[in-house]
Amino acid sequence: MDSLMIGVSGIRGIVGTSLTPELLTRFALAFGTYVDGGRVVVARDTRTSGAMIKHSVLAGLLSAGCSIVDIGVCPTPTASLMITELGADGGVVITGSHNPIEWNALKFMGAGGICLSEAEGRRLLDIYYEGNFTAVDWSGLKEVEVNDSALDIHIKRVLSNIDVALVRSKRFKVALDSCNGAGSVITPRMLEALGCTVVGINTTPDGLFPHNPEPTFEHLDGLVQAVKDGRMDIGFAQDADADRLAIIDERGNYPGEEYTLALAAKHILSTRRGPVAANLSTSRMLDDVAAKSGVPVIRTKVGEANVANAMKDNGCVAGGEGNGGVIDPRTCFTRDSLSGMALILELLAREGRSISSVIASIPAYAMCKMKFPCARGKVSKVLAAARKNADTAVINDQDGIRLDWPDRWVHVRPSNTEPAVRVIAEAPGADAAKALCDKYMALSQSAAEAPNGKG
């Protein structure tokens, strides 16, 4: 992975190597110009590099004439909520998300609390590269307002969407791994407000991650053990900025991140009818859940902003991504692990059964994910090869090529973050999913390696 990535979704790099104060200030100046010197919410996760980066960002925003609301260390969804709560013109969240501790990044949001779309991101990049910045003199510099109410507002908003008394009556025992990230303070407080007994591991907000912050199975040994040792009802894991959520069932099993959205959507649809949205690489479990309620699933290009904007445009009652990202539009239009937890706990309370039993009620699939390096100029040949070998599949070319059969699918698409092609397949069993992934991986690589005009 390159040490600096600049794209429409933001900028990320390794602190002290590629992510320098000069670069950060220039990007913040570009964003300040983008929002025309408006009001900007600034937040960060717990990484030890956060303070340095925040001050670099503040310098750039102030130079562009922005007024700033500093909401301190808090989850990304908290920042999204506060942008709309305060009527701000945008926001900058300083977070390396699921990346290792040496990384950090800037995530930009618009006035609706939604990450910038591809078109909006390109406009910001144009300002950055052209260097045509707004710059005010001494008389145009504004104050930095510190607002310490963000965590309370977020908890209150999440709880307003569920039956708190019902959840409290169940007295759930919950194990929590916040990876010492931005969820470390707010999440135990919210769970305790729901009457849960919380056993927290890695809930010290010092940014010293005890494991890789991506909430996938190989990183959650400690949480699995905490669930087993404490005979907990459920285990929850967050990434560093608390927008993604993974689940451990009461037996210590990890069902996979894809279940987070399926479970949350299942519960929302039991009380509210409407379409749901997800990207093209998200499990068809969501389609099964939606079909039971007789509502459509709107599929979008990969990218959180694409899902959020589709939700807003189509009046969706739920949405998200298969990486553990749940979007409840009643709270905010970004992935929110706190909303995911509250919804899943209310689901358990209403159904009166264990999380493993609820999971077993959703049709299960196996997913296989692969990728290979591929220059941008060769992507069209790769996609043409996938289309040529579609067999009897239904073709969706909204984002690369997705091929759907009655009980399985494969998605071949260029990566948004690196010069690579991703191949993702899902089928009823692991062997079938791998065979499908292997087939289209081989076809894709062969097309990429073929001489010009062939393949």
Instruction: Please identify every residue annotated as catalytic.
Output: 97
Longest dimension (CA), the chain: 67
Listed in order, strand segments (DSSP E) in 332-400 are 366-373, 394-396
Residues 334, 114 contacting (CB under 8 angstroms): yes
271 vs 17, 29, 340, 341, CA distance in Å? Answer: 50, 45, 16, 17
Angle at 349 between CA 343 and CA 354, to 5 degrees: 100
CA 1 and chain centroid, separation: 20
Alpha-carbon distance of 228 to 231, in angstroms, equals 5
Phi-psi map region of 137: left, alpha, beta (phi>0 left; psi -120 to 50 alpha):
beta
Query: What are 185's two structure tokens?
Result: 């303070």
Residue type, 82: M
The HSE-up count of residue 291 (CA atoms within 13 Å, CB side) is: 7
Burial 285-318 (b: 16+ CB within 10 A, else e): bbbbbbeebebebbbbbbbbbbbbbbbeeeebbb
Element (H, E) at 81: helix 76-86
Query: Would you say the C-alpha torsion 13, 17, 20, 23 has a positive or negative sign?
Result: negative
Alpha-carbon distance of 239 to 247, in angstroms, equals 12
Q: Which of 141, 57, 170, 155 is nearest to 105 (CA)?
A: 57
* Radius of gyration over every alpha carbon of the chain, rounded to an integer in angstroms: 22
Q: Is 116 helix (H, G, I), strand (E, B) or coil?
A: coil
Query: What are 366's two structure tokens?
Result: 């196996």
